[in-house]
Amino acid sequence: MQKSALPNIDRDLKSYFISTGFIDLLPLALTLANQLGYCNGEVIEAICKVADKCKEYPPTRNRKAWFTKVFKEKLNEARADILRISYLQNM
């Protein structure tokens, strides 16, 4: 049995990265999210947004640099979306 390279990763989070095709960038995404102070829910929302953007504007040269830039942008959007939903539910 092969050990997972990322044993402490939530299975749901890992499955989102697998389904979007960015599993190879999961360590980078977790590092960025940790440095910027985002939680797993925001990371899941962001990776879905990154996958949507990739369908419209796929990376043409440097996939890792493209992902870094777009993922940071989408993390901010994800936090805003989650805060908006929370606010609207508490009205």
pLDDT, residue 10, reads 73
pLDDT, residue 9, reads 56
Taking phi over 0 as left and psi of -120 to 50 as alpha, with beta for the rest, 15 belongs to alpha
- Inter-residue contact 68 to 35 (CB < 8 Å): no
Structural domain containing residue 56: 11-89
Number of helices followed by number of strands (H, E) in the chain: 4, 0
Separation between Cα atoms, residue 69 and residue 72, nearest integer Å:
5
- Spacing of C-alpha 85 from chain mean position: 19
- Inter-residue contact 36 to 72 (CB < 8 Å): yes
Q: Over the chain (91 residues), what is each successive 10-residue block's mean pLDDT? A: 46 88 94 93 93 94 95 96 91 84
